[in-house]
A and B are shown apart, each in its own frame.
Chain A
Amino acid sequence: MSKHNPPGPFHPASAMDFLPPGQLREVQFTRLKGMVQRAYDRVALFRQRMGERNLTPADLKSLDDLVKLPFTVKMDLRDAYPFGLFASPLQEIVRFHASSGTTGKPIVVAYTQEDVDDWARAMVRSFAACGVHSGDIIQNAYGYGLFTGGLGAHYGAEALGASVIPISGGNTDRQIMVLKDFGVTVICCTPSYFLHLIERAGELGVNLKELPLRAGVFGAEPWTESMRQRIQAESGIRAYDIYGLSEIVGPGVAMECQHQSGPHIFEDMFYPEIIDPQTGQVLPDGAEGELVLTTLCKRAMPMIRYRTRDITSLAADRCACGRSLRRICRISRRSDDMLIIRGVNLYPSQIEAALLRVEGTLPHYQIIVDRQKGLDTLEVQVEVTPEVFSDTVGAMEQLQAKLSHSIESITGLHADVRLVMPRTLQRSEGKAKRVHDRRQM
């Protein structure tokens, strides 16, 4: 039995994917002007930044003038915590989400009702692009909550007309039971979690290849082509890459079509540029650099030239699906030190803030990320200092628990805290090498 039917019915929302390039640029420019005007009128930071360059929205004469506008960076979101970058009054905000900041505080994003609807539309186009359609049974194993993954995929799947199982993340045995008993056809989760699920299904004697499951919408973390091949060979499903980030909207910024040639960016909503991360200069299609995104529709929280820190390139050659949308190539690395663990963003500086919060003095620490049975593990090794050393086991275990709790409350991730002897953690040229990522992607 072949589970891989011909492409699903054409969804009207996908029409924008096929706009001729000239028309696409017109749409982009019209939307850009409106968005920049709104950001300039309503957000002090954008007005001030443009003012520093003697720019007003009227200086945008064509799409090419976008390069004149200043970049926005994660630090700006942190400094604006919580509501400083909103372009809509709170009465019009219907939803908040949050993502990891670089310190103890998260960054907050907001949506008006129209933003939520636009986001659902981007997710409908995402699902439709990889052949998911109404009638599909979608198991949504992205985490529900402040993380954009869960609700983003959920609203999109409902708007598509699919039947959604909002199972959220975790509890692998139950995931497998539902996958089997509900006749699930499509699953949404991180690719590493699906690898874990494959492994666990094997242990439970469940053969995924015999289930109706035919596609996976995998994202929230970088993965490789070899991981895709492994997933497809071991589970018999087709694995599609979805890209997004909270600062821009959440999942649904870009999505692969059935040709699996890299996520198509929904360029009429999110305008992409590739820049040299050192000089900030815009690079041509095909060149590797940092992805910069500008939201063209967002109302509550517009973003002008947001630096994603993801290193990739844009493919402009025509895809076999016929979409006029450019594609992003596999994210090769980041231009900052952010890690993605079980789909959750983590900055080493957050661990530092968490440790500082407990004892007030910063001990030496080291972060060890590994992958066991497809699942990311996070270990934080902390050197014991005379200040924190106590003579009883109970007090030391309490210290471990306090550190672990502090890390979890700041990052949302469980970490195994391991106390180690002083001066045993590696230091290179006096500066400690904080992060050891041992994962084989």
Chain B
Amino acid sequence: MKLNQLSVFLENKPGALSTPCRLLADAGISIQTFALADTQQFGILRLVVHEWQKAKELLEKNGYVVKLTEVVAIEVPDVPGGLAALLEIVERARVNVEYVYAFTAKQEGKGLMLFRFNNPDAAIRALQADKVNIVGTVELFQRLGN
């Protein structure tokens, strides 16, 4: 149920973001979605790619520090209160959301978001109990046409 996400340490300076993107591009690796957390000094690039092992190896070989992190892809109804209701489920399970970002693709009135929880397993249990659709790796990449 959990997805593998790559987190990459970047310095906050011109070119810091384009270089790893170019590396992946030249290896034919497509970025499904990404988010950038930034501070004045450094940034953390979070990536979801299909061939994550290959991408990780490639980035590491080029001097990047890469960490594998588990995230959860969740369908969120694209209606007012859709996100709020979902977050309330997680909140009741006393799970903390560390960060969240989205896929651009929308399907059948539902958006797809990626959540990083402090306790992903507890979050998944709570969400499934509430009949929330969690999208696993295989389904995700099928949907994204890979």
Contact = CB atoms under 8 A, between A and B. Distances in A.
Contact of A393 (B37, B66, B69): B37
B101 interface: no
A329 B69 CA distance: 60
Contact of A391 (B7, B38, B41, B63): B7
B90 interface: no
A393 B11 contact: no
B46 interface: yes
B10 A386 contact: no
Nearest to A400: B41
B37 A423 contact: no
A419 B116 CA distance: 23
Nearest to B71: A391
Interface in B106-125: 116
Contact of B9 (A397, A400, A419): A419
B26 interface: no
Contact of B41 (A389, A419, A423): A419
A392 B11 CA distance: 15
A420 B9 CA distance: 9
Nearest to A392: B98
B88 to A, nearest CB: 23
B141 interface: no
Contacts of B11: 419-421, 424
A391 B65 contact: no
Interface residues of B, number: 20
Given A396-B42, A396-B44, A420-B11, A385 B37 contact: no
Contacts, number: 51
Given A384-B9, A389-B9, A421 B99 contact: no
B44 A422 contact: no
Contacts of B42: 396, 419
Contact of B63 (A389, A393, A423): A423
Contacts of A423: 63
B18 interface: no
B67 interface: yes
B129 to A, nearest CB: 27
Interface in B1-30: 7, 9-11
Nearest to B69: A391
A391 B44 contact: yes
Nearest to B60: A386
A384 B42 CA distance: 11
B52 interface: no
A146 to B, nearest CB: 32
B64 interface: yes
Contact of A397 (B39, B64, B67): B39
A334 interface: no
Residue from B9, B44, B67 having most chain A Cβ neighbours under 10 A: B9
B39 A421 contact: no
Contacts of B46: 391
A421 B38 CA distance: 15
A413 B133 CA distance: 53
B44 A392 contact: yes
A49 interface: no
Interface string A397-420: 100100000000000000000111
A390 interface: yes
Interface string B33-45: 0000111011010
A418 B98 CA distance: 23
Contacts of A421: 9-11, 63-65
A377 to B, nearest CB: 15
Given A386-B65, A419-B42, A423-B63, 14 more contacts: A384-B65, A385-B65, A389-B7, A389-B67, A391-B46, A391-B67, A393-B38, A396-B9, A396-B42, A396-B44, A420-B11, A421-B11, A421-B63, A424-B63
Interface of B: 7, 9-11, 37-39, 41-42, 44, 46, 63-67, 69, 98-99, 116
- A-B pairs, top 9 by smallest CB distance, nearest first, are A391-B7, A389-B65, A391-B69, A393-B37, A384-B9, A423-B63, A384-B65, A419-B42, A389-B9
25 contacts: A384-B9, A386-B66, A386-B67, A389-B7, A389-B65, A391-B7, A391-B46, A391-B67, A391-B69, A391-B116, A392-B37, A393-B37, A393-B38, A393-B44, A396-B9, A396-B39, A396-B44, A397-B39, A419-B41, A420-B11, A421-B10, A421-B64, A422-B63, A423-B63, A424-B63
Interface of A: 384-386, 389-393, 396-397, 400, 418-424
